[in-house]
Structure 1
Amino acid sequence: MALGLIDKLTNFLIPLEEETAAPGKSEVSAGAKEMAVQETERRPKLKVHTQQPGQLKLYVDLPTSFDDVQAYADYLKTNIAVVVNYQQVDAATQQRMSDFLNGVCYVLGGCVQRVSDRVILYAYANIEVDKKIFAYSVPTYVRVKNE
């Protein structure tokens, strides 16, 4: 059983090479060739991972008016994530901009993550945002001393 598993792994990782047929062994080699062709058709295609780092691009901005939102949408369309700090706009403008960019992210299949009350990350599709950092930065339980 173990030898069969090792043989299967070896044949999977190192493909069988076609051997030149010796005179008198043409029947055996033809059967071996057919078996090798069937085995290569059954094998799954392997993907090779590259050693190059990912090409994540990030744009960080501090908007001053609603007119800036179109540039953020263009960045998202060209696969550039956007971090928007809404400190210099009022609450109504922040709501309008946030609604617009939420719609853009929804259409592109992206995601929206709140970093803080006034800072939001808008990411395009295929970007994973790990939320573990939020668990460490915001305490869930604060013990208050009773005096």
Structure 2
Amino acid sequence: MSMKNKIKNFFYLEEEEEDVPVQRQQTVQQQAPARKSVKERRVNQEMPSPTVVSLQAAHKASKVILIEPRVYAEAQDIAEHLKNKRAVVVNLQRIEKDQGFRIIDFLSGTVYALGGDIQRVGTDIFLCVPDNVEVDGAISDYYYDDI
């Protein structure tokens, strides 16, 4: 072998030459375990060892935040909860009607930007959820006054 071939084999740039006589090759294979090809070595080096993760650790506990804003400035705090992937129930019964409309407009934009959803669940009560929470079902708009 030339010096160039020895260097290539040392750095595994090329596989070993296959021009070795058949008898000698068979004895070499019987004596030493077969060498892995360059591709096999690279794949084994690139592939990380499998990691075991507990499902309980992977599934983070979800929170639902209940908020009764008193002023419009609290809308930003509600948006922060949504950005942190928490569902928020907003009760607007203790705030003036015009400020309630402004809060819902602000939260509608926030929920839209985050890919979430906003639903009315009662009189002046809204459920805002980020994209990682799915809301199933609907509440009708018909209310019973005599019950």
* TM-score interval, smaller chain: 0.5 to 0.7
Distance apart, 1:112 and its partner CA: 0.6
Alignment of 1:16-95 (within 5 A): 51-52=55-56, 54-95=60-101
Q: Which amino acid aligns with 2:98?
A: A
RMSD of equivalent CA atoms: 3.7
Counterpart of 1:34 in structure 2 is: none
Q: Which runs of 4+ in 1 moved over 6 A?
A: none
Going from structure 1 to structure 2, the CA distance change for 1:138 and 1:100 (only over 3 Å counts) comes to closer
> Which residues of structure 2 form unaligned runs of 5+?
1-39, 41-51
Q: Number of matched residues?
A: 109
Query: Are residues 107 and 139 of structure 1, via their aligned partners in 2, closer, same or farther at CA, if it must alter by over 3 Å?
Result: closer
* Identity rate, percent: 33
Residues in 2 aligned to 1:85 and 1:73: alpha-carbon distance in whole angstroms: 15
Q: Does residue 127 of structure 2 align to residue 98 of structure 1? A: no
Structure 1 residues without counterparts, runs of 5 or longer? 1-36, 38-47, 143-147
After TM superposition, the score normalised by the length of structure 2 is 0.55
Query: Is 2:127 aligned against 1:121?
Result: yes
Report the Cα offset of residue 54 of structure 1. Answer: 4.7
